[in-house]
């Protein structure tokens, strides 16, 4: 086999809001798509909207009404983290006029050498990528007309055989969670389950605190593939994937404070990797990623001092995964096709009214 990389568009200028559509008119199978977005901030801020990944609301691959991939950028980045054990590139800088960036690799097989699973455009009528974004511009947001995006495809030029299928990944359910009670979700029963993810945005607590128990029930508990507490589930993530790291830059503000952004729902703190002047300090136990905690005055970052930090943590983009066995071996995936009903029951806790969702990756044969 031999792979080649092809730009579908490169450093293309973005408006404030649009949906970009491009055809996948290749005669060879697609191994993966790489998407990157970059944008310049107007000024240093202590409010939301700092992460540019928040503002790409949907990445879709469709063939007419047939949806082959669909989720927002933060979900897609978490999928890369948990399906491929990689921490996606995310540039986070809270200084005035700084550039933010986010990159994700969407794979249709287990890795870049997978000959069994690839997205074959020849199996569809008119496959297209649709990218929807909405970037707030102006003061304390983004500089107008200073955003770009790039989409690149990895193509397998000479596959050994035609692929048997591809990994189909979708955001399948969304709701505003409550502070208690179960949310019951009817799950699809068409193809093998490889990986399940649950996510929550804007929480004061980590995902495993907001969802205290997960249960997958088939035919009203005739068979239960798993039932697990949120605490045990985050332990499962920690043991399987290890700690993630992301560099974040920020600027000191009056009063000896500094606001820091990071992508981890469960933070294990940060340490300084560089600064423009002065001494060093360590920070521990950040809150989830969109709470943006300020450092205490005792940390003493001077006003306008620029500091870079290594931020560490788990629950990437406030997602938690449930992998179905060895992600390389389809024999270990969950097969829902023989059941009359499959339901995911999530026990809710803590914060009310949060944007919550479920992402599912399946093996779809041709």
CATH number at residue 75: 2.60.120.730
Cβ neighbors of 272 (< 8 A, separation 6 or more) are 280, 281, 282, 307, 308, 309, 310
Residue 88: inside a domain: yes
Residue 330: inside a domain: yes
Average pLDDT over residues 87-91: 94
Q: How many CB atoms lie within 10 A of CB 174?
A: 11
Q: Give the whole-angstrom CA distance, residue 216 versus residue 328.
A: 22
Range of the domain at 235: 3-241+317-365
Please state the pTM of the whole predicted model. Answer: 0.94
Whether the CA torsion 299, 302, 303, 305 is positive or negative: it is negative
Burial of 30 (0-12, 13-18, 19+ CB in 10 A): buried
What is the chain's mean pLDDT, rounded?
90
pLDDT (0 to 100) of residue 280? 55
Q: b/e for 16-28, b at 16 or more Cβ within 10 A?
A: beeebeeebebeb
Q: Which of 62-66, 153-157, 308-312 comes out lowest in average pLDDT?
A: 308-312
Whether the CA torsion 86, 90, 91, 95 is positive or negative: it is negative
Q: Give the whole-angstrom CA distance, residue 261 versus residue 286.
A: 9
pLDDT score of 240 more than 60: yes
Q: Do 297 and 255 touch, CB atoms closer than 8 A?
A: yes
Residue 303: inside a domain: no
- Report residue 96 as tokens: 């005035």
Q: Do 286 and 130 touch, CB atoms closer than 8 A?
A: no
Residue 260: inside a domain: no
Residue 252: inside a domain: no
pLDDT (0 to 100) of residue 141? 85
- Report residue 356 as tokens: 């919550």
Q: Give the whole-angstrom CA distance, residue 170 versus residue 70.
A: 5
Task: Select the more confidently predicted residue: 158 or 32.
Answer: 32
Average pLDDT over residues 310-327: 94
Rounded to 10°, the helix 73-84/230-241 angle is 60
Q: How many CB atoms lie within 10 A of CB 199?
A: 29
Q: Which of 16-25, 59-68, 93-102 comes out lowest in average pLDDT?
A: 93-102
The rounded Cα 245 to chain-centroid distance in angstroms is 15
Residue 283: inside a domain: no
pLDDT (0 to 100) of residue 34? 98
pLDDT (0 to 100) of residue 285? 58
Domain count of the fold of the chain: 1
- The pLDDT confidence band at residue 294, using thresholds 50, 70 and 90, is low
Residue 265: inside a domain: no
Cβ neighbors of 278 (< 8 A, separation 6 or more) are 300, 301, 302, 305
pLDDT tens digits for range 254-287: 666 677 788 999 988 887 777 665 555 566 656 6
Burial of 124 (0-12, 13-18, 19+ CB in 10 A): middle
Q: Give the whole-angstrom CA distance, residue 21 versus residue 283.
A: 43
Q: Do 188 and 29 touch, CB atoms closer than 8 A?
A: no
Looking up tokens 């390389």, which residue turns up? 328
- The pLDDT confidence band at residue 167, using thresholds 50, 70 and 90, is very high
Phi/psi region, residue 138 (left: phi>0; alpha: psi -120 to 50; beta: rest), is left
pLDDT score of 203 more than 90: no
As a whole-number percent, the residues of the chain with pLDDT over 70 amount to: 89
Residue 295: inside a domain: no
Task: Select the more confidently predicted residue: 48 or 60.
Answer: 60
pLDDT (0 to 100) of residue 272? 76
Cβ neighbors of 262 (< 8 A, separation 6 or more) are 92, 246, 248, 270, 286, 289, 311, 313
């Amino acid at each position: 086999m031999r792979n080649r990389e092809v730009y579908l568009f490169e450093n293309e200028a973005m408006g404030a809001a649009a949906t970009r559509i491009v055809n996948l008119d290749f005669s060879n199978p697609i191994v993966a798509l790489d998407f990157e977005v970059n944008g310049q901030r107007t000024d240093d801020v202590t409010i939301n909207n700092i992460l540019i990944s928040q503002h790409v609301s949907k990445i879709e691959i469709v063939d007419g009404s047939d949806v082959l991939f669909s989720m927002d950028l933060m979900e897609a980045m978490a999928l890369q983290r948990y399906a491929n054990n990689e921490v996606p590139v995310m540039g986070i800088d809270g200084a005035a006029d700084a550039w933010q960036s986010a990159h994700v690799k969407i794979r249709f097989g287990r890795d870049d050498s997978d000959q069994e699973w690839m997205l074959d455009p020849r199996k569809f009528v008119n496959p297209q990528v649709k990218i929807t974004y909405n970037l707030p511009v102006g003061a304390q947001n983004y500089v107008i007309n200073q955003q770009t995006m790039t989409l690149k495809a990895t193509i397998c030029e000479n596959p050994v055989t035609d692929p048997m299928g591809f990994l189909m990944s979708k955001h399948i359910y969304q709701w505003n969670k409550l502070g208690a009670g179960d949310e019951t979700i009817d799950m699809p029963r068409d193809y093998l389950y490889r990986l399940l993810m649950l996510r929550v945005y804007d929480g004061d607590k980590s995902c495993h605190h907001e969802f205290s128990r997960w249960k997958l029930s088939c035919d009203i508990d005739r068979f239960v593939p798993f039932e697990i507490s949120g605490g045990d589930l985050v332990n499962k993530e920690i043991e399987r994937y290890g700690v993630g790291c992301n560099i974040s830059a920020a600027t000191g503000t009056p009063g000896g404070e500094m606001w820091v952004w990071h992508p981890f729902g469960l933070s294990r703190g940060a340490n300084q990797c560089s600064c423009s002047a002065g001494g060093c300090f360590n920070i521990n136990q950040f809150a989830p990623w969109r709470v943006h905690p300020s450092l205490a005055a005792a940390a003493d970052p001077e006003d306008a001092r620029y500091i870079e930090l290594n931020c560490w943590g788990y629950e990437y983009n406030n997602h938690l995964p449930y992998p179905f066995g060895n992600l390389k071996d389809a024999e270990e995936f969950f097969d829902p096709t023989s059941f009359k009903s499959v339901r995911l029951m999530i026990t809710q806790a803590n914060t009310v009214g949060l944007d919550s969702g479920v992402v599912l990756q399946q093996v779809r044969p041709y």
